[in-house]
Chains A and B, each alone.
Chain A
C-alpha cells in the first residue's frame, strides 16, 4: 500500500508547492491525479518517487518510508528519457540488477515482448518513433517489477491515436501483474479511462480538492453516457478550483 501522509513541499525560494497532502492507494489500484499545470501534481509524484524530498510529512510504500529512490517504486517520465548510447534492449535492462546474464536477458526479452518491441531490441533510441520510445521507457520501469509504478503524464507528448493505443496497452500490462499505478495527467479522459479513483488537485499551494471513485467497469467506453457524466463532474470540479483560485488571488 502506498501512503502519503501530510506531505508538504516548500521550495528554497519560499514557494509552497504542496500543502498537507494525504492519500492512500491500495495495492493494485490505479490512482489518477489531474489538475492544471502548476498545481503541483508532478512535484507530488517526484516526492513519492524519492527523487525529491518533502519539507514535511511521510511517504511510505508497503511500510517502507521513502526518502530516496527505492526498488519498490518505478517511475515513467513524461519524456522517454532513454539513454541514447544504449540500444533498446540495454535501455530496458538498465535498471535491472540481475547478476545472472542469462536470466537478465530473459527478463529483458520478456519485457520487450510485453510492450511489443521484440523486433526492435537492437535499435538505437534515435531510430524509434515517439510511441515506441515511450513503450521502451515503460518496459524499463516494469522489468524491475516495482510494487508501485508512477507515471508522470506518460503519454502527453504522443498523438491522439498512439496515446489511446498506449492507454489500452498500459491497462493490459497492469492486468497481468496488477501493480499499483499512480498516474499524473492533465488529460481527464485518460484518467477516466484508466483510474479507479481520481484526485483533482488545486494550485497555489497544491492540494487535493476532491477525489472521485470511478465505478465504471473496464474496458471503459469513452462515449458512454456514464463516462460523459463523470467527465462532466470532474471538469466542473476542476473549473471550480480554477475559479475559486481566481477569486482568491
Chain B
C-alpha cells in the first residue's frame, strides 16, 4: 500500500439545528427570572412574618391584586396604551430627526461644522428644562409631551449615527470609491449597512430615554398613562399603585427593547463578534 493513498474525509456542510438554541434560550429566560422571583418571595415572607410593615412597602401579593383590579376595570390597558403611544410617537419623531442630522453631520464635514456645535450645546441642557417652555408653546396636551420625548430620543440617536458614520472603516469606503459609487449610492450600499449595528444600539438607548421622559411628560399633567398612575398613587397614598405602575414600566420597557433587538437580529447575522445575539 502506498503512503500517498490518503482518503479525504467528506466535508459535510450543515448549519446547526435550531433545537439546542431554543433550549438554551429558555434556560436563560429562567435564569433571568431567578433573581426577581427570589427577591419577591423574600419580600412577601418579610411582610407576612411582620419583619417589615407592609403599609408603605406593600408585598408582591398586594401589588398583584392592584394590578389585577386595574386590569379588570380596563384602566390598566388604557394607561398602558396612552403611555406607549406617547413613547412611540416621540420615538418616531426623535429617531427620524436624529438619524437625519446624524447621517448629515457624519457624512459631510461642512454639515458637521455647521450643526454639531449647536446640537452639542443643546444636548448640554437638561431636557426637563424644556418642560415649561414646551407647555407654553404647545399646550398641556399630547404635543408638548411628545415633543419632550422626541428631544430625549433625538440625542442618543444623533450621537450614535453621527459617530458611527464617522468611524466607518476608510478601507471599506475605498472599495466603494474604486467601483465609482456616487455619494448617494455610497451612503446606501456602504455607510448605512456599516453603521447598522451601532444604529440598533443608538435606537435602543434612544428608546430607553423615551421611556424615561414619558414619565416626566406625564408628570406635567396627564389624565391617563402610567405616569399618571404614579402621581395619582402618590397623592392618594397608594404605594401599591405606584409599584404596580413601576412594574408595568419595567415590563413594557423591556418588551419594547427586546422588540427592536429581535427585529434587528436577521439584519445583523453577518456580524463577526465576541458575544451572541441580543
Contacts and interface: CB of A to CB of B under 8 A. Distances in A.
Partners in one complex: yes
Interface of A: 49-51, 68-71, 74-75, 77, 79, 81, 83-86, 94-95, 119, 124-126, 144
B269 interface: yes
B270 A85 contact: yes
Nearest to B271: A84
22 contacts: A49-B178, A51-B177, A68-B180, A69-B180, A71-B180, A74-B178, A75-B178, A77-B171, A77-B174, A81-B171, A81-B175, A83-B175, A84-B270, A84-B272, A85-B270, A94-B179, A95-B178, A119-B13, A124-B269, A124-B272, A125-B272, A126-B272
Contacts of B196: 85
Contact of A69 (B177, B189, B193): B177
A119 B189 CA distance: 25
Contact of B270 (A70, A126, A144): A126
A125 B270 contact: yes
A79 B175 CA distance: 11
Nearest to A75: B178
A147 to B, nearest CB: 15
Secondary structure at the A interface, as helix, strand, loop or mixed, is: loop
Interface in B224-278: 269-272
B178 A69 contact: yes
Nearest to B196: A85
B85 interface: no
Interface of B: 13, 171-172, 174-175, 177-180, 189-190, 193-194, 196, 269-272
A69 B179 contact: yes
B175 A94 contact: yes
Contact of A51 (B178, B193, B271, B272): B178
Contacts of B175: 77, 81, 83, 94
B190 A83 contact: yes
A79 B174 CA distance: 12
Contacts of A74: 178
A75 B179 CA distance: 9
A176 B175 CA distance: 25
Given A68-B180, A125-B272, 18 more contacts: A50-B178, A51-B177, A69-B177, A69-B178, A70-B180, A71-B180, A75-B178, A77-B175, A79-B171, A81-B174, A83-B190, A83-B193, A84-B271, A85-B270, A94-B175, A95-B178, A126-B272, A144-B179
